[in-house]
Structure 1
Amino acid sequence: MKKIPVLLDCDTGFDDAFAIAMAIASDRLEVKGVTTVAGNYTLPDVLLNTKRTLSITDPSVPYAVGAAQPLLRPLYTHGHPTHMMEELGDPDIAPDPRGAVEFMADILRESDEPITLIPLGPLTNIAVLLAAHPELKEKIKEMVIMGGSVYSGNTTPSAEFNIYVDPEAAHMVFKSGVPIVMCGLEVCEDARVNPDHAHRLIELGNPTAVAYGNELLRGFTVGESIIFDAVPVAYILHPEIVKTERYYVEVDITGGLSAGCTVTDTRAFHHDDAPAPNTTVAMSMDREKFGELLVELFANY
C-alpha cells in the first residue's frame, strides 16, 4: 500500500508527542517533517519537547521552527510545566535552517502528490503558509485539524484552546477552501486511555514504548487521560472508526466571550441562501479501537 505523505504542525506537549510517535510508527504514513508553533507552551519549550520526541522516535525526521506568537494577539499558553521525558535532556538535533512556512512550502512544492497537513496546535503557521503561497493550496490533499468544537469550549465557554489562541489564523484557514477535517472536543472525548494501556506499552519492551508508557503513567490524575492530538492520526489511518458529519464552520473573530468559537451550523433544515458545508466534522470515535491502535503502533518500534 502506498504511503500517505503527511506534515505535522505541533505545539508539542504530551498529546502532540503521542501523535508524532504514532505517525512515525505507522507503515501507512510517510512523515515528511514536523513544524513547531507556540501554543501549549512558549516556543523554547515546544522546541525542547519536539527534539525529545524525535530523538526517541526517529531523529532523521526533519523539523523546522515556526511562529512564537499568534498573528495579532499576545500568546496565551496553558502555563503548565512540560513534564515530558525529562530524562532525555536536550537532544542535539538541529532544526532545518528554513523557517516552518518555507520548510512546508518547499516540501509541498517538490512533492509529486498532494500532502496531508496535520495541524495540532494554533493555526498560525498554516495561515501564513496559505497567505504567502496560495498557489500551493492544490498541493494540500486535506488538513486534518485537532481543534475547535461544535457545542462548547474548554478554554472559554465557547472556544477550544487551539482556536482560541489564534482565532484570526483559524478564521483564515477555515475560509481558505482547502478541504478540512475538524477533530474537535466532541470526538476527542473518545481518545481516552487508562493505566492498562500504559502498562501494555511498557510490556512491549522497546525503549520508545516504555518511555511513552511511563509518560502516560505520570500523566494520570483521575484514572484516565485524553490524548487529543492523536485523534487526527487515528482518523487518517482508520477513518472507519470515526463518525463524521458535513457542516459549515466559521471562526468567530469579533471578540468577547465568543472569540475563537468554531460556529458550526448543524441545522438539518437550511435556507436556500445558507452557506454550503465546508468542513468534515468528527463527532465520535470507537474508543476501544483507538486504544488498540495506540498499542499496535508502538509495537512497531
Structure 2
Amino acid sequence: MNKKNVWIDTDLSVGMKRHKREGYCDVDDGFAVLQLIKAEKIEICGISAVYGNTVIENAYFLSQYMGREFAGNQIPVFKGAGETMDLRNVKTNEAVEALADALKKQPMTIMAIGPATNVGLLLLKYPELKEQIVEVVLVAGRRKPTDYFKIGNKGSHAQDLNFDLDNDAFRIMFELGVSITLCPFEISNKVWVTQADLDQLASSGDQGNFWLAEASQAWLQQWLDQGADGFNPFDVLASHYIISPEDIISEELNARLEIYPDDTVKGSDKEVFKQYLLCDKQSGFPVKYCYNVVADYHERLLRSLGT
C-alpha cells in the first residue's frame, strides 16, 4: 500500500489547564493526532511541538506521550517554537531542523494544527524546500470578518487562534506559493462531539480512545456551560481531510490579510484591532477552503477512531 507521508506540527494540550486564564485547554488536537496514528494509509514521518493552546513544554510532553503510548515510540518527536516568530531575530530550533532534514529526503504533507511558526521558520531558513511540501493543511480562516467563531449561545467568540498567534507565518507561506488547505471554523462548526460520543470512545476497548475520552470531560463541560450540546473538534477536520479528502467538501478561494476591530474583545469601541484571514473570490493567494462534510460524516469520524 502506498502511504501518504505526513508531518504533524501541533500544540497538543489534551487535559492541560490553561496557562493564561481559568479552565482547561482544547482536546481536538489529540483527536487529530490519534486519528492519523490509526490511519492505515498514513505514514507519520515526525511530530513537532509548537506553543499555542498551551506552553511549548506541555505540547512537547504530550507529543512524546502520544508517540510513546499509542505509536510504540515509532514516530520521532521534536521540540519546536515556544513563541511567535520575531522577524528581526529569526532563530531555528530542533523541530525546524528535523523537518528540513525530512523534506530533503522526500516530499511530505504538513498538518500544522497550531500556530504555523515552525513552518514559517522553515521557509525563511530553507526556502528551497517549498518544492518538497505537497501541501500544508491548517485550521484557520473565514469568509468575512463578521463570521464569528461562536461558542455556545452566551455570546462568547473564540479566536482564530492559530492565525492570530502568528500572522507572519501565514504570510510567508502565501508569498512563497506553498499549496495551502484551510479547515476553518465554518466546517468544524458542522461537527459535534457529545457525551455519548465520549462514552462510545471510552468503551471501545482501545487505550488511546479511553485516554482521549477521559481527558475530554473537562473540555466538554466548558462547552456545556456556554450553552452548547457538545464541542467542535476543530483540528480533526484537518486530519480527516488528509486521510479521506472525499469526506470533506471544499472550494478554491483566494486568501488575504485585512485589519478590523477584534471581535473577541467585548466592549471595545474600535479600540482593539487585529488581522483577519479572509477567503473569498476576490484577489489574493489561492487556497483550498474546506466548508462542509458529507452527510454521514459523524459515523465516518467515529469509525476512523476504531469505535
1:219-234 correspondence runs (5 A): 219-221=219-221, 222=224, 223-234=229-240
Q: Number of residues paired by the alignment?
A: 266
| Identical amino acids, percent of aligned pairs | 24
Q: CA deviation at 1:295?
A: 2.5
TM-score, with length taken from structure 2: 0.79
| Secondary structure, counterpart of 2:203 in structure 1 | helix
Question: CA distance change for structure 1 residues 254 and 190 in 2, over 3 Å: closer, same or farther?
Answer: closer
Q: CA deviation at 1:141?
A: 0.7
Q: Is the 8 A contact 1:159 1:260 kept in 2?
A: no
2:113 counterpart residue number: 120
1:245 counterpart residue number: 251
2:31 counterpart residue number: 18
Q: CA deviation at 1:140?
A: 0.8
Aligned equivalents of 1:295, 1:158: Cα separation in 2:
25
Q: CA deviation at 1:241?
A: 2.1
Letter in 2 for 1:294: L
| Secondary structure, counterpart of 1:193 in structure 2 | coil
Aligned equivalents of 1:147, 1:189: Cα separation in 2:
13
Unaligned stretches of 5+ residues in structure 1: 74-97, 268-273
1:260-292 CA distance string (max 9 Å, x none): 31022335xxxxxx45x5101111123741x32
Aligned equivalents of 1:150, 1:258: Cα separation in 2:
18
Aligned equivalents of 1:148, 1:264: Cα separation in 2:
7
1:187-213 CA distance string (max 9 Å, x none): 111231112211221221122222222
Q: CA deviation at 1:157?
A: 7.4
- Say whether residues 1:138 and 2:131 are aligned partners: yes
1:70 aligns with one of 84, 92, 95: 84
1:77 counterpart residue number: none
1:61 counterpart residue number: 75
1:26-85 CA distance string (max 9 Å, x none): 001100010011111111121222223223211221111111110139xxxxxxxxxxxx
Aligned equivalents of 1:154, 1:173: Cα separation in 2:
24
1:158-205 CA distance string (max 9 Å, x none): 961110011112211222201110111101112311122112212211
| Secondary structure, counterpart of 1:278 in structure 2 | strand
1:107 counterpart residue number: 102
Aligned equivalents of 1:20, 1:180: Cα separation in 2:
19
Q: CA deviation at 1:153?
A: 4.6
- Say whether residues 1:32 and 2:27 are aligned partners: no
Letter in 2 for 1:264: C
Aligned equivalents of 1:43, 1:143: Cα separation in 2:
21
Letter in 2 for 1:62: P
Q: Is the 8 A contact 1:192 1:287 kept in 2?
A: no
2:301 aligns with one of 286, 294, 299: 294
1:219-276 CA distance string (max 9 Å, x none): 3222311111111111122222222121110234799755331022335xxxxxx45x
Q: Structure 1 residues 249-258 or 159-168, which shifts more?
A: 249-258
1:191 counterpart residue number: 191
Aligned equivalents of 2:258, 2:115: Cα separation in 1:
15
Alpha-carbon RMSD: 2.5
1:51 counterpart residue number: 64
Q: Is the 8 A contact 1:121 1:147 kept in 2?
A: no
Letter in 2 for 1:18: F
TM-score, with length taken from structure 1: 0.80
Q: Is the 8 A contact 1:123 1:173 kept in 2?
A: no
1:91 counterpart residue number: none
Aligned equivalents of 2:86, 2:261: Cα separation in 1:
12
Question: CA distance change for structure 1 residues 252 and 173 in 2, over 3 Å: closer, same or farther?
Answer: farther
Q: Is the 8 A contact 1:190 1:286 kept in 2?
A: no
- Say whether residues 1:173 and 2:173 are aligned partners: yes
Q: CA deviation at 1:147?
A: 1.7
Q: Is the 8 A contact 1:122 1:170 kept in 2?
A: no
Question: CA distance change for structure 1 residues 253 and 124 in 2, over 3 Å: closer, same or farther?
Answer: farther
Aligned equivalents of 2:279, 2:209: Cα separation in 1:
38
| Secondary structure, counterpart of 2:215 in structure 1 | helix
